[in-house]
Structures are given as C-alpha cells and as structure tokens.
A and B are shown apart, each in its own frame.
Chain A
C-alpha cells in the first residue's frame, strides 16, 4: 500500500572539512535547496557524517516532521549506510533517503568554482525531486549459514580455516594441488628469523588435516558458486586421485613399481617423478596421487583397446612377463600381432612429431617371443576353480572366434569351437604366408588358448552342409558366436576365368600353406592391390616363378595393401603395373596362355572415396602368361546361413547390432571379418573379446545395454601439450632388422627379425608417457593397503556455506622473455623459487648448494627486481624479493662460504627486524652493489672471466660499470597473480585490478573484504606480501567471517524487482532474460512472479518488460525520471 503523503524534505549540504567547500559555494547551494519544492529545511554543516551531523538530521526529522532526507556530501559508497542508519534511528524508513555525491563527482573533479557550484545544485535538485518519489521499503533479512568455504590451502587459507574451525564453525577448505601447504612448503628457511619453513608450517598443516571442523578437499576445485551472502551453494569438483584417501598409508612402496617418468612440477622440473607420487614427504593428506591426464593416443587408436602405453613402459623397465600379461588382457595371439598387425597405434604415436613413432608392434613381438622362450606356453592368468554350467559354441577358429572363446573360457565358461577346415587358425594359418607368420608360431599361440580350457573341433562345418544352429542349441549351448571370416574369393566374371592356371588368392595361399605343390610357371600375374595380392605375389616368387607382376587397376596410392608390404615385394623383385586391368584370359587346350589387359585412367571418386578407374578405349594389349592369381577381394561365405534366418547384408557380411554384436536371431552373435568384411587381425580380436562380454551378459540373463562395453575410458591427451611439457631429444625409431631381399626369396623363413633385448629396452625408453600414468597397475600389485583404484571417477560435492574466503596465492614471474638474464640459456641461472628448492632438504640437491655438474660455487650473484618495478613487465614492487634475496645471501654464505654479490636498485626492508637483517648481511661480507643488472653473459673479455657467467651492471654509487664473473646467478623474480585467478574471480563475483590481484573493498580501511558481500580475500591473492602480513590478513578475513556468522542474520539490499499482476500479460520476456532464474511463470494467473529471495536487483527485467509491468524497487522509472528532470530542467 502506497501512501501518497505530502513529501517534507530535509536537505543537508556537507562541507566535508574543506573538501567540498573549497570549490562549491555551500551557502549558495543551501539557499538554492531551501527554495525547491517540498523542501522544509535546508542546512549545511562541516562534517555531516559525524555524530553531530547525524544528530542534526535526527532532530530535524522529529522537529519538522520530515519524511524525506537528502544529504549532499561524499560518495554513497562511503556513507549511504551511515545516513540511512541515522534516518532509521529517528524512526524514518531508511529508503526514504537519497544521497547526492558532490565531493567525488563535483568538488574534487571540477576546476572552476562557479561550474562546481552549478553542478552541485543540479545534483541536489535531482536528489530532492527523486526522494519525493521514494517509497518505504523493508529490507530483507536473511539467515547466515555458519559454514565457511576457504578457497586455497596455502598459509593464508590454512590460517583462516584454523581460526574459524577453532571458533567452532565448519570450514570447507578446497585446494587444487594434492597437498595443502602452498608455496611456503617449498621454502627452506624464512626471513628474517631464518626459521625452518617446514618446522613452522607442518604443525599447522597437521592441525588442518586433523581438525574435526575442517573438511579438507585436496586435489579439488570449486566448480560453481551460486546464491548470495549467507546462502551460497557451492559445487566442489574432486578430481580423481586414483588412490583411496582413507586407505593409503603413505608408505611409498608404489613408487618402486611405477615405470613412468615425468618432470616434477613441485621441483620446477629440476627433478623427475613417477606417475604415482606425493608432492613432498610431509604432504597433508599424506596420500599419494596418480597423474593420469587421459589415455595415450596409441591406446585409443587400437581397435581392440589394447593398452599399448602400458606394455611399452613395462618393457622399458625389464618387466616382460608383466607386459605379456597386460597384453593378454585385451588381445590374444601377441606374437602374431607382433608380426602382422598394421599397427594403428604407431600412426597416432606422439613420437611421430619427435623423430618417428615408437616401434610398438616390434615391442609386442619381442615380449611374446621372450615369453614363449623364457616362460613357455603357459597361461598368463589363473582359471577359476569352478566352471560355469553355461556352454557356448563358437563357429570358426580364426582370431575372432578364438578370442571370444578365450575370454569366455578364462571366466569359467565351457566353450567349444567348431572349425570347418582341418586345422584351427583361420587366415593366420591359411592365408598369411610363412615368411610373415610361421605356422609353428600359430600352433603355439593356439596351444595357449587350449590351456584356457577351450575345446576345438576341426573338420566340422556349421551351416549348410554341416551342423545347423538349431542343432547347436539342441545340444545345450546357451549361445552361439559366428566367426566364419571372409574366405570366399571374388571372381572377375570375364571370359576365360575357368582356364587352368587361373587361381584365386585365398585358394592358392591355402594350398601353399598346407604344403601342397603348386606349379605356377615363370610368368605369373597377380590381379589386385590388397594384402592378399601382395602375399600371393611374394609367395609366387618363393615358389620359383621368375617374373611376378601385380596388375592393379588404380594407382599406387590407392592400393589398400600395407605400404611396407608393397615395398618389401618390390625389393624382392615383384613388378607393379598400375592402371592396368585384365579384360579376358586366352588359352590353348583349356590352359592359360595369354592375358588381355586394358589401360585405365582415374575418374571421379566412387562410394569408397577412391577415384573410379575408367578403361581407356582401344588401349587393349595382350601379354603371355603362365598363371594368374585373382586377389580382388573376399567375402564371408554367408550363404551357408541362408536357412538359419539370419539377416545378411548386401555385401555378404552378417548383420549385427554394432554395440552388442547380436544378430537378428536370439542367442546368436557374430563378429570378425564375417561382419566387417576383410579387415585386420586386431579388429577381429577386438570384436571377439567384445562379443565374449555381451555373450556373458546374455547367458547370465543381464540386460545387454545396462552398461557400456568399456567401463573405464578416458579422452586422448593432446599431443601438442605433451610435447610442450615433456623433456625429450628427437630420435629416430630403432630400425627393424630384415633379411636382404635376394636371400629371403629363396625360402619361406621369416623376413623380419625380433628386436634384441638391448634394442627393445632402448626403443621402449623412447616413449614420451603421453597420458602420464600408463595403467600398467604395478602400483596396485605393490600396495598392501589396496588403496589404488584406477577406475575412480571425478566427483561433484555440493555444500552450502554462508561466506567465502579466497586465498589463492600467487605464482612467480617467469623470466624466460628477459633474454638478457640468460634464464634457460645458461644452466647456472636459477629463479628464486628454483633456488628455494635447491636449499630445501627434500629438493633436487638434498639441501646442498651445488651447481649442475656437482661443483660447489665460489661466487654467486643475486639479481633483484627481475620482472618487477618495470614498465616492460610488472610495474609494481613485489615487496618480498629484497628480503628473500638477503636470505639467500646468508644461506649461500653459510652453506658454501662463497662470495655473494647482491645487485639492487633500492633495499626494501620495511618489517620488524628487517633492517637489522640487512645489517647482518652486510656484516657477513655480502657485496651490495647498487645498479640494476644490464645483462648476464658468458662471453669472456679477460682470463678470469673464462668459463664463468659475467654479470654486467653499473655500480651507480661508484659511477663505474662493473663486470663481475660468478659461478651461479639467482634471479629474484617478482610475484604475480596465480594461474586461474581470473576463473576464481568470476566464480565468486569479485574483480581483479590491472595487475591481476583481487580488488579489496577499500585499500586502506577494508583490505580483506570485497565489493561482494560475504566474500573475503586474504594473502597474496590481494597483493604481494610476506608471511606475517599474509597470516594477519587471514586472521582478519576469518574474523570478518566469524563476525558475520555471529550476527546470524544480515540485511540484504531491498531493491528487488516487483511485477504488477494487473499490468503483466505473461509474455515471459523477463523470465527468459533473468540471469538468476529469479522469475517464475504462474500459469494459474497467467503472470510472472519475482522470487525476492533470489532477485539481485539488477533491473534488467524492468528495462526489458514491453508493458512496464516490472518495477525495480528504489530504481523505478518514476524515480529515475524525477532525477533526470532535476538535472536537466
């Protein structure tokens, strides 16, 4: 209810000492104000904000019955609250008050007094006109949730957390590193007391870790903050440690097994660490963490999902048996794959960008050969004691079928494999030639499968002409897996195809692999461009044919055969005739004598994306030939299943559901070349293993699609990122030893040799550890507490807090761009934070000050102001560098007795005992040279400068340019806002200044609060400072938070929005644009309603409403118009 009473306005003009009155004619303004409409009393006073000033207002309200008050003084940011309170004390609603700023906006910024006075009068009139339209508002009271969120676990965050926790309130402390401690944990000694940093820090860390009121979230980040003061909803993202915090005892046995080496960020790259690590020995929580950034590109490139990274790393540390076991978890036939796999992994290897891929396939071959040699044909897993009673039948003993069988068998399922041919192995035995994959090896690998309990029955086809699927179910099998491969050769359908001497590749290779004699004659032509064509050609050579030519209808680049195979064939003497295709075969007495071919040219691409071959009219020619082998493609013999009710695709492959590999017939699954068409061994094995899982789900009655196939899968890491962060030298892959071509065509012995152990170790060490952790799981084996869980997932925890303290700290300036100092160019130039680690007993040199070659330095230079006090980098002074530089001088002297030279511009020693520390350093004999260093160079200009670093600076006090030769240079770099500060600022709603530090509410009087109520800042995130000041600010912020909590309730700005239901038409424009979702639509009444608890009062809805149904209280249109009129009219 709005009472339209007659406004009675009191106007008060403040002198603000002389700050206003020196420019503004205050009396004139008072006089002016007194003549304005509705103004009952107008006064001036020197200090309106003082008690007396406020009393003036209070008395006038009572005496003159004022119902509106205007004060023209400083900025409302200073004293709006003060005057509103004065009104409240006098019984007047605080919103019936308006402030005009005539100091910050007038007296302080205007030169001319006349103009200043006129401006002040305008503002006063505006305020008077506006306040007449103000309505009383009741401020919202909100409860303060007593919990506090502290972001950042350095000394500031820990101190604040402890203070609040001791006060009995709950603190959620979120730290993004695996341990709390911040930068202070990296130091050796602190200035000026030379206290050991760890000694004073670790008790605090332990308190934080053990305090019952502090809920510690390490290796976590704040993901989202919503709400308002007293009622913040916070989402905390817990990054997966892969180590269970409540089980890990910190024993560090796991490190011994980890084969991965990564640069240690805590040591600034001066040391390496393993993938499983702990930042430093006194970490809190004292729990390890696994650095797993995703999956390596090799792993995700493998169609069977084999963890290539894992087994390569195991080889690099000599754990070959473990490598074999790891391989067998995902694929079978490792020795075969090690010889015949196209190695999709190698194409994606990050090393391709750094010298050439790691020889992943050759390493697999090495592991398999070693295992069979040294361990024997022994199952790498233990079979379960009890077999299951659900039997599965597999049709086809090729890689797909045997993979499915193996993976079911090792889980205890009895599996029988039916094979139509006389021996198992499929393409491995009958198609891939001996010189690539010896059948003896195939036998060995199949032996391993049999040891898992798989029964293989040969000479038993299934389908037309053999057992039917119905029969199989009849025999008690619960499921059937069809893996018949693609063994049916295509034919060309040209004249003369039935002449003697014309073979098809699969048929031909099968006969050779059986040991049959095939008379090819000397002139052999192989038609086709795939692997079987090349295999056939190279076999023909070895059988004695003198001239073997491959005819291919497209060009070389379109040949689907592996390039290495084509190269090897050519080395051996196979000729390649591209853009040629046979059109007819001519013979005598039913025997082939000539091949008639036509030349081709390439036209537009066809459905496969390759350019269509078009015969050139009239280019026919005939060549004499003894034999022709057609290798133009294969397809599955799916016609045998025509009667079984299975859906067959147009190209002859069996249809299956791409995820579950189930056919359209209940209980029947299929995979391998039978469903994909001719592809690769590894793909077949991958599908076989996949089918095993889905068949298992099926026979156990589980929902096939309840879970995805891969329960643990991560994104591939970014290769550029990897190259940026790893240290490596560009190196070529180890070459694989191949027999010379003229020799190898004489027999069918293997062409390629296995790597020697030495070569394998060296090659495996080339791996860059792209993803960090390789999931070899050796750590799991060593962990007695069973605290490792590689499948851990990220977790989001939601908490409610009433206030937030931001203590995100700093990072040091990176002096790499300042090339004159030689950082990263000369090995003995260090940054201060690197030098801290050198001094720290847990660091790279165990606390000794040593150069990289182990020598003790005799002369050390410390350069102040690197990156600070500089227009070109950071303008500000970082406050702590002079003091820590002097600390270093002391430590160097104490530990090595070296001469120390400090190059400074000014010595800043403003704290307690700081100047005395400077005196002490002078007494210790430190050479202080006043002059900013111009450059550090290794170009010697005299004998004593040889082999040393020379620091060049003008000694300004002596007026001479000095060249000082030293052994070691320390750059005292400045401090900068921490990485990610911008994101944190956006999250909690605070701002950064031009240097990236968070902005405090008032630089003098409110250094730990911010413009956002309920959000406080502490420590270096507000600006560079030393430890005592940081701790003070942390306690201060804690006090502010506790004060808020003690109040229990707080008034929130009442200026929210309101929708007049009479005017609102329910267009919902306001609802669409509200950024806080504070507006709801009420379908019953057809209007929108504002949720006052959430509304922040920004006013966007009011400006958006086409009907002007929305008013923002205290900033409604009438008020603003009145103010405008006051200014302009």
Chain B
C-alpha cells in the first residue's frame, strides 16, 4: 500500500490546500491526536484526521485521495476548536475533498456526493430515487444490499417518484454556476 519513501516536499505542491487562509498551518501539526479523539465520525473513517495529515505531510497521496475521511467529515468543528496548533482542520478537509474530486472519485462516499449533486442539479430539489439510481450505477453491490430496505420504504410510501422543480430554477442554476466559478471549475 504505497511506498515507504517520505516525500516531504510534495506538500508544497498542494496549492489548493495552501491557498486556504491558514492552510499552510498544517505543517505545524504535532500529531497530538486531539482531532481524532474529538471526531464523532472517526470510528467509521479509514484514517482519522490526525493520521490523514501525517500521510499528507509525508506525501502519500495515493492513500490520501483514496480515503473516505474528508467525505465522512460532518463539519462539526470539534477538531478545529480544540486543535492546540490552531489548524483549520475542517477547512482543510474541504480542500482535500475538492482535490479528490478533481482527481476523479475513487471512494464510495465520493460517488454518493456526486450522485447527490447530479440529482439536485436537475430540478433544484433532491430526487432520492434519481440519486440512488446514479449511485447504484457506480456501486452496484450496494444496490443488492439495500433491496429489502428499498422495498420497505416503497411499501410505506416513503419513496417519491415525481419531484416538483423549484419555482426559480433559473436563479438556482445561476447560484451553482457562480459557485463553480469561485471554486475555479468550469
């Protein structure tokens, strides 16, 4: 799983990360573990925030961008508030998320995020069916796993087939365009 060599200068190539205000503070991390200890999602992450940052600083980008850490981050900010070095951990998680997205999703959670995005873009409201459809296309195994759940929901009438579009869909689309512009994407 990746090489053992330490590529310490690689971090300076992570321009998106360093561009965040305070993003370069990641080099001050003393690996104390407060973030992982505080993180409510840590039990289900591949790597807790601390270990992830150690991998980032060591240049192990294969592991970093195939992990699910930043996808599962709940943005609760516990880590950021308690970090003794004042590192903006949550903000860095967002940057890593964007960088992972740019590299193409490799992680299940990433597919879920993309499925959500595409499902919402259409009508401005979330069509759950559409979202799950898109998701299962990428992760077919989960389709089988969730069949019984889907049937139960169907029986209770909790699955919507039709979704009303937003009244001001135009405005919504403009917001998305602007956001993409700001994030430097096309």
Which A residues lie at the B interface, using CB under 8 A?
820, 865, 869-872, 905-906, 930-935, 952-956, 959, 961
Complex alpha-carbon distance, A961 and B42, angstroms: 8
CB–CB B85/A954 < 8 A: no
Complex alpha-carbon distance, A872 and B32, angstroms: 15
Closest residue to A963 on the B side, CB-wise?
B37
CB distance from A1009 to the nearest CB of B (A): 33
CB–CB A932/B51 < 8 A: no
Complex alpha-carbon distance, A751 and B81, angstroms: 63
Contact flags B16-39 to A (C-beta < 8 A → 1, else 0): 000000000000001111101110
* B43 interfacial contact with A, CB 8 Å: yes
Closest residue to B85 on the A side, CB-wise?
A871
* B84 interfacial contact with A, CB 8 Å: yes
Complex alpha-carbon distance, A573 and B177, angstroms: 81
Apart from A865-B32, A934-B34, A954-B50, list 11 A-B contacts with CB within 8 A.
A820-B38, A871-B86, A872-B82, A905-B30, A931-B32, A931-B34, A934-B38, A956-B33, A956-B50, A959-B51, A961-B48
CB–CB A954/B33 < 8 A: yes
Complex alpha-carbon distance, A820 and B35, angstroms: 13
CB distance from A908 to the nearest CB of B (A): 13
Complex alpha-carbon distance, A934 and B83, angstroms: 10
Residue of B37, B43, B78, B81 touching A931 (CB-CB under 8 A): B37
Complex alpha-carbon distance, A480 and B91, angstroms: 88
Binding site of B, secondary structure by majority: helix, strand, loop or mixed?
Answer: helix
- Inter-chain contacts of B78 with A (CB < 8 A): 934
CB–CB A931/B33 < 8 A: yes
CB–CB B37/A954 < 8 A: yes
CB distance from B64 to the nearest CB of A (A): 16
Contact flags B81-123 to A (C-beta < 8 A → 1, else 0): 1111110000000000000000000000000000000000000
Residue of B33, B38, B42, B84 touching A870 (CB-CB under 8 A): B84
CB–CB A953/B37 < 8 A: yes
CB–CB B32/A956 < 8 A: yes
- Inter-chain contacts of A959 with B (CB < 8 A): 48, 51
Given A956-B32, A961-B48 in contact, is the A932-B84 Cβ separation under 8 Å?
yes
- Inter-chain contacts of B51 with A (CB < 8 A): 959
Residue of A871, A930, A935 touching B33 (CB-CB under 8 A): A930
Some 17 contacts from A to B, beta carbons below 8 A apart, are: A865-B32, A865-B84, A870-B84, A872-B81, A931-B34, A931-B37, A932-B33, A934-B34, A934-B36, A952-B37, A954-B48, A954-B50, A956-B33, A956-B50, A959-B48, A961-B36, A961-B43
- Inter-chain contacts of A905 with B (CB < 8 A): 30, 32-33
- Inter-chain contacts of B38 with A (CB < 8 A): 820, 934-935, 952
CB–CB B84/A961 < 8 A: no
Closest residue to B54 on the A side, CB-wise?
A956
Complex alpha-carbon distance, A931 and B33, angstroms: 5
- Inter-chain contacts of A954 with B (CB < 8 A): 33-34, 36-37, 42, 48, 50
Query: B54-77: which residues lie under 8 A (CB-CB) from chain A?
Result: none
CB distance from A965 to the nearest CB of B (A): 15
- Inter-chain contacts of B42 with A (CB < 8 A): 954, 961
Number of A-B residue pairs, CB cutoff 8 Å, is 64
CB–CB A956/B82 < 8 A: no
Complex alpha-carbon distance, A935 and B31, angstroms: 17
CB distance from B6 to the nearest CB of A (A): 18
CB distance from A929 to the nearest CB of B (A): 9
- Would you list the 3 A-B pairs with minimal beta carbon distance, nearest first? A934-B37, A871-B86, A954-B33
CB–CB B84/A953 < 8 A: no
Complex alpha-carbon distance, A632 and B15, angstroms: 90
Given A934-B38, A961-B48 in contact, is the A953-B33 Cβ separation under 8 Å?
yes
Complex alpha-carbon distance, A12 and B6, angstroms: 50
Complex alpha-carbon distance, A931 and B51, angstroms: 12
- Inter-chain contacts of A933 with B (CB < 8 A): 34, 37
- Inter-chain contacts of A906 with B (CB < 8 A): 30
Complex alpha-carbon distance, A954 and B50, angstroms: 9
Closest residue to A935 on the B side, CB-wise?
B38
- Inter-chain contacts of B84 with A (CB < 8 A): 865, 869-872, 932
CB distance from A951 to the nearest CB of B (A): 9
- Inter-chain contacts of B33 with A (CB < 8 A): 905, 930-932, 934, 953-956
CB distance from A822 to the nearest CB of B (A): 14
Complex alpha-carbon distance, A906 and B84, angstroms: 14
- Inter-chain contacts of A930 with B (CB < 8 A): 33
Complex alpha-carbon distance, A334 and B23, angstroms: 76
CB distance from A817 to the nearest CB of B (A): 12
Given A954-B50, A961-B37, A961-B43 in contact, is the A932-B85 Cβ separation under 8 Å?
no
Query: B108-141: which residues lie under 8 A (CB-CB) from chain A?
Result: none
CB distance from B63 to the nearest CB of A (A): 13
CB distance from A966 to the nearest CB of B (A): 15
CB distance from B170 to the nearest CB of A (A): 45
Complex alpha-carbon distance, A288 and B186, angstroms: 80
Closest residue to A933 on the B side, CB-wise?
B37
CB distance from A815 to the nearest CB of B (A): 13
- Inter-chain contacts of B86 with A (CB < 8 A): 871-872
Closest residue to A962 on the B side, CB-wise?
B37
Complex alpha-carbon distance, A959 and B82, angstroms: 19
Complex alpha-carbon distance, A935 and B38, angstroms: 7
- Inter-chain contacts of A956 with B (CB < 8 A): 31-33, 36, 50
CB distance from A964 to the nearest CB of B (A): 11
Complex alpha-carbon distance, A952 and B36, angstroms: 10
Complex alpha-carbon distance, A961 and B51, angstroms: 12
Residue from the set B32, B51, B82 with the largest chain A CB neighbour count within 10 Å:
B32
Complex alpha-carbon distance, A608 and B33, angstroms: 71
- Inter-chain contacts of A820 with B (CB < 8 A): 38, 82
Residue from the set B34, B43, B48, B86 with the largest chain A CB neighbour count within 10 Å:
B34
Complex alpha-carbon distance, A668 and B12, angstroms: 97
CB distance from A907 to the nearest CB of B (A): 13
Closest residue to A820 on the B side, CB-wise?
B82
Closest residue to B37 on the A side, CB-wise?
A934
Residue of B34, B43, B81 touching A932 (CB-CB under 8 A): B34
Closest residue to A956 on the B side, CB-wise?
B33
Complex alpha-carbon distance, A905 and B29, angstroms: 12
Complex alpha-carbon distance, A956 and B83, angstroms: 15
Complex alpha-carbon distance, A905 and B83, angstroms: 13
- Inter-chain contacts of B82 with A (CB < 8 A): 820, 872, 934
Complex alpha-carbon distance, A865 and B33, angstroms: 13
CB distance from A240 to the nearest CB of B (A): 45
Closest residue to A934 on the B side, CB-wise?
B37
- Inter-chain contacts of A955 with B (CB < 8 A): 33
CB–CB A932/B48 < 8 A: no
- Inter-chain contacts of A872 with B (CB < 8 A): 81-82, 84, 86
Closest residue to B25 on the A side, CB-wise?
A871
- Inter-chain contacts of A961 with B (CB < 8 A): 36-37, 42-43, 48
CB distance from A508 to the nearest CB of B (A): 75
Closest residue to A906 on the B side, CB-wise?
B30
Closest residue to B32 on the A side, CB-wise?
A932
CB distance from A610 to the nearest CB of B (A): 57
CB distance from B53 to the nearest CB of A (A): 11
Complex alpha-carbon distance, A953 and B42, angstroms: 11
Complex alpha-carbon distance, A872 and B34, angstroms: 13
Complex alpha-carbon distance, A820 and B78, angstroms: 10
CB distance from B38 to the nearest CB of A (A): 4
CB distance from A488 to the nearest CB of B (A): 76
CB distance from A303 to the nearest CB of B (A): 56
- Inter-chain contacts of A865 with B (CB < 8 A): 32, 84
CB distance from A1101 to the nearest CB of B (A): 47
- Inter-chain contacts of B36 with A (CB < 8 A): 934, 954, 956, 961
Complex alpha-carbon distance, A934 and B82, angstroms: 8
CB distance from B131 to the nearest CB of A (A): 31
Complex alpha-carbon distance, A957 and B10, angstroms: 24
- Inter-chain contacts of A932 with B (CB < 8 A): 32-34, 37, 84
CB distance from B37 to the nearest CB of A (A): 3
- Inter-chain contacts of B31 with A (CB < 8 A): 956
Complex alpha-carbon distance, A930 and B36, angstroms: 13
CB distance from B155 to the nearest CB of A (A): 34
